[in-house]
Structure 1
Amino acid sequence: MIGKKIFSLALVLLTASLLQGCGFQLRGSVTLPSTIGPVYIQGLGEYDELRRELAQIFTFSDIPVAAKPQGTGSTLLIDSRASDRRVLSVDGDGNVAEYELHEGARFALIAADGSALVESQTVSAITTYLNSETQVLGKQQEEGTLRKDLQRDLASQIMRRLQAQL
């Protein structure tokens, strides 16, 4: 009985050490200097999907997200956003067969003293989806889901760039 418990504990410890040794991280976490926190996210609405994704990644990375700009270590400034849908192809009858979705943002990380920790730069994400005239509601839901995925991709790109440049 005691031997099984010791074996189970040893197995758990071995698995944990193997995961750490291979560079395993929680999804969405990045290694950022703690001196940038707390971070205030400026330029996005409170319920914006990109803001939610960024806040989640900061939290997973042990960097607190501030509700107000006062008393923060830095500000993540999102100073422009782009969201677009364009026709990619049409069928023989002239109906839209495929759309391309685009999401983009320009960001900079500003220190509390006003200096740029990370200069202003742009990130973007693009995806396509097939359009079906018979499944209009399903395609609207699919576009919404794809846009959320693009927002998640933008947030990941922003965090990777912050990690690389800090």
Structure 2
Amino acid sequence: MIHRRAFLTLSAAGLLTGCGFKLRGTSTQLGQLPKSLRIQTPDPYSTIIQNITRQLRDQGTDVVGSGPAPKLKLTLPTFTDRVLGPVSDGDQTELALEITYSLIGEDLVVLIPETKVRTTLIYVDSGANTSAEDQRVAQLKHHLENDILSQIVPSIRVRFEQALMQKDPPKAK
């Protein structure tokens, strides 16, 4: 019985693979990153900036302190919240986190103009001023940080490749 189940599972996996099916996250990444980067930010020790730096290093970019390398300018993330309107249990509130970046080449040419990456989340604020409510909002802000971290490096990747394509368009044969 177990051999039959294993055989059927492997057969289905082989059939799906043959049809071109791929699991999420196993494909090649879009775009490319510069070989080396300098990061300029108001606070290089901010946790989100440290996480972006770690992601860049993990993906093969050498993050240098000085020298001839393109400069990635990052702003610190800004949280905003606004009340969208009342609902039966409280106020519907939108939390937003936004970070801005630009990339300037070694020859001081703007490779990537100022680009905003923004992530939003809508939740119902109960209006209770308790530590549980504060903890819930802190957890939601942490989710926003994780979302923006998952968006920023792929955004830099795609925009950098577009900048390279505009700088050196492919030649037709």
Give the TM-score normalised by structure 2. Answer: 0.64
**How do 1:76-95 and structure 2 match up within 5 A?**
76-79=72-75, 81-90=77-86
In structure 2, do the counterparts of structure 1 residues 142 and 49 end up closer, same or farther at CA, with 3 Å as the change threshold? Answer: farther
**CA distance in structure 2 between the aligned counterparts of 1:39 and 1:118, rounded to whole angstroms:** 13
1:38 is matched by which residue type in structure 2? S
In structure 2, do the counterparts of structure 1 residues 72 and 57 end up closer, same or farther at CA, with 3 Å as the change threshold? Answer: farther
Quote the residue 2:38 is aligned against: 40
Quote the residue 2:55 is aligned against: 57
Tell whether 2:156 aligns with 1:158: no
Tell whether 2:70 aligns with 1:74: yes
* Aligned-residue offset at 1:90: 3.1
* Aligned-residue offset at 1:134: 5.1
Match of 2:124 among 106, 112, 130: 130
Asked if structure 1 preserves the Cα contact closer than 8 Å seen for 2:30 and 2:154, the reply is no
Provide Cα deviations, 1:27-46, integer angstroms capped at 9, x if missing partner.
Answer: xx956646x23322222423
Quote the residue 1:144 is aligned against: 138
1:159 is matched by which residue type in structure 2? V
**CA distance in structure 2 between the aligned counterparts of 1:53 and 1:42, rounded to whole angstroms:** 14
1:65 is matched by which residue type in structure 2? V
Provide Cα deviations, 1:80-139, integer angstroms capped at 9, x if missing partner.
Answer: 7532111233356xx943321111122111122211222222221110222235572122
Judge which range, 77-86 or 114-123, deviates more.
77-86
**CA distance in structure 1 between the aligned counterparts of 2:93 and 2:77, rounded to whole angstroms:** 20
**CA distance in structure 1 between the aligned counterparts of 2:69 and 2:92, rounded to whole angstroms:** 45
Asked if structure 2 preserves the Cα contact closer than 8 Å seen for 1:53 and 1:151, the reply is no
| Unaligned residue ranges in structure 1 (runs of 5+) | 1-17
Asked if structure 1 preserves the Cα contact closer than 8 Å seen for 2:32 and 2:158, the reply is no
RMSD between superposed Cα atoms in Å: 3.3
Helix, strand or coil at the partner of 2:108: coil
| Unaligned residue ranges in structure 2 (runs of 5+) | 1-16, 162-173
Identity of aligned residues (%): 18
Q: How many residues align?
A: 143
**CA distance in structure 2 between the aligned counterparts of 1:77 and 1:30, rounded to whole angstroms:** 23
